[in-house]
Amino acid sequence: MKDNKELIDLLNLKEIKKDTYSGESVTIGNSIVFGGQVLAQAINAAYRTIPEGRFLHSLHSYFLEAGDLTLPITYKVAEIRDGGSFSTRRITASQNDKTIFILAASFHKKEEGFEHQSTMNMDVKQPEELLSWDEMLDQFGDFLPKSIKSFLSIKRPISFKPVRVPNPLEPENLPAKEEIWFKLKGDIPKMNLALKHQILTYISDYNILNVAFNPNAKDYNFYNTQTASLDHSMWFFRDFDFDDWLLFSTESPNAFGARGLSRGNIYTRDGKLVASVAQEGLLRPIKK
């Protein structure tokens, strides 16, 4: 995928029958289906069944099996409840009658209330000061390890600009914190909030597990560790637009027992908190 139009087409599922939908897959460089794709497609399916005027405020999910890129994914929506203010849905994703993913999502009508939010790091380097993954590939591709060069060469509909870029040739242990700017590629169409939620959910599965490696990055990385997303939760707060850069600020409070926990906040450039994310992933060192 080279721009946001192709991403939007990927997330727009085909309706098979009432509450049942089908989606295709596109690789992001892995041999299995990207977790963010399954998350976002499941939200697309759920939104198809929600009363007008209600919007996603939280999701909680588990990745059960690796998805096959060559097979369509079937999404079945169970309409659990439509109350006076909230609607709840359970979505099951399967291939060849095997469940690969389950998700529970809650939708809320718009209401007024008091507010507060976590504060964004306003001293963070701005995206104009940083190199994107594409620019890193152009400038340093000949010097990068083959595995990293291959990963950066994949065409993506999102541009990423990490605030701190570790040297892959001289790895070192780092604080369990990361910040990365991201922006959709291509002309940005007018979007409703439901589509914004789907795209943001897709992007939220990028980069979040990276931070769990940081305190042990001198010895462990994605290439000598078996990794997999185990679960993924997300909370949506304020409306936003994709016409400017957004900041994903992450931290990892714990790694233990071959699992790592990462969590993060997504902010607009002016510091408005859009969403929070949490994920636990498998971090199993590969025995030599």
Q: What value, to the nearest 5°, has the Cα angle with vertex 125 and ends 122 and 126? A: 90
Distances (CA, A) of 100 to 65, 67, 182: 4, 7, 28
In a domain, residue 174? The reply is yes
Domain membership of residue 29 (yes or no) is yes
Inside any domain, residue 235? yes
Q: What is the pLDDT of residues 201-214, one digit of tens each?
A: 999 999 999 999 99
Reported as a single tens digit per residue, the pLDDT across 160-184 is: 999 998 877 788 999 999 999 999 9
Which of 205, 249, 252, 262 is the catalytic position?
Answer: 205
117 noted as active-site residue: no
Tell whether 153 is covered by a domain.
Answer: yes
Give the CATH number for residue 247.
2.40.160.210
Model pTM?
0.95
Catalytic-role residue among 41, 106, 229, 252:
229
Per-residue pLDDT of the chain (288 residues; tens, 9 = 90+): 889 999 999 999 999 999 999 999 999 988 899 999 999 999 999 999 999 999 999 999 999 999 999 999 999 999 999 999 999 999 999 999 999 999 999 999 999 999 999 999 999 999 999 999 899 898 887 878 787 888 888 899 999 999 998 877 788 999 999 999 999 999 999 999 999 999 999 999 999 999 999 999 999 988 899 999 999 999 999 999 999 999 999 999 999 999 999 999 999 999 999 999 999 999 999 987
> How many structural domains are present in the chain?
1
Asked about 239 being catalytic, the answer comes back as: no
Instruction: Report if residue 71 sits inside a domain.
Output: yes
205 noted as active-site residue: yes
Structural domain boundaries enclosing 98: 4-109+126-285
